């Protein structure tokens, strides 16, 4: 994964997954309790959401990698006054896309743990959301470390900004 994605890309994919799941589960209170399997249904739906977005992010990674390679080929061809070769998908592109997909999907796992342990769907949901907020903080701390800024402030900023983005997504019907 480190070979295909830099720290910013890795942390970004995790943040995307966390925000998607947190948005999804934050709106779930409306549907919880409608059936006795509501916790399992929520868990499956959250996982399905992140699998879909993981696949989409992987596809976007492939397209971006090809565009980057095409731009570099154009620059080389222009400097040599040569023809531009068409961009092709490389094995490393596919591996990078799979890494993007996996990171988004893996961010769903903290959601699953409370639902597997506790029968009370509301409690599991709140605990799950608490874990996701804590993970926003941890990702922010990691980002701060890589960006050479105060990691605690970065963690707090990622948490606040993540929650604001979730609130915006919910307000817009996301």
| Digit-coded pLDDT (tens) for 79-109 | 888 888 888 899 999 999 999 999 999 888 8
- The structural domains of the chain, with segments of one domain joined by +, span 7-171
CA distances from 63 to 52, 95, 101, 153 (A): 17, 13, 14, 34
| Cα–Cα distance, 15 to 53 (Å, whole number) | 12
- Describe the chain by its helix, strand, coil percentages, rounded to 5: 80, 0, 20
Residue 141: the pLDDT is 96
Report whether pLDDT(67) > 70: yes
Is 0.75 surpassed by the pTM of this model? yes
Q: Which residues contact 21 (CB under 8 A, 6 or more apart)?
A: 46, 49, 50, 107, 108, 111, 132
The residue among 124 and 71 whose pLDDT is bigger is 71
């Amino acid at each position: 994964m480190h070979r295909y994605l830099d720290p910013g890309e890795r942390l970004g994919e995790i943040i995307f997954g966390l925000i998607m799941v947190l948005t999804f589960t934050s709106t779930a209170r409306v549907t919880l309790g409608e059936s006795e399997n509501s916790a399992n249904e929520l868990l499956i739906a959250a996982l399905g959401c992140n699998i879909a977005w993981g696949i989409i992010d992987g596809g976007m990674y492939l397209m971006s990698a090809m565009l980057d390679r095409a731009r570099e080929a154009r620059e080389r061809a222009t400097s040599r006054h040569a023809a531009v070769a068409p961009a092709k998908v490389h094995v490393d592109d596919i591996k990078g896309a799979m890494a993007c997909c996996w990171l988004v999907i893996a961010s769903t796992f903290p959601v699953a743990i409370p639902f597997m342990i506790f029968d009370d769907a509301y409690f599991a949901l709140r605990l799950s959301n608490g874990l996701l907020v804590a993970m926003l903080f941890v990702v922010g701390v990691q980002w701060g470390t890589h960006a050479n800024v105060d990691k605690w402030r970065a963690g707090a900023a990622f948490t606040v900004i993540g929650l604001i983005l979730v609130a915006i997504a919910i307000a817009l019907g996301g």
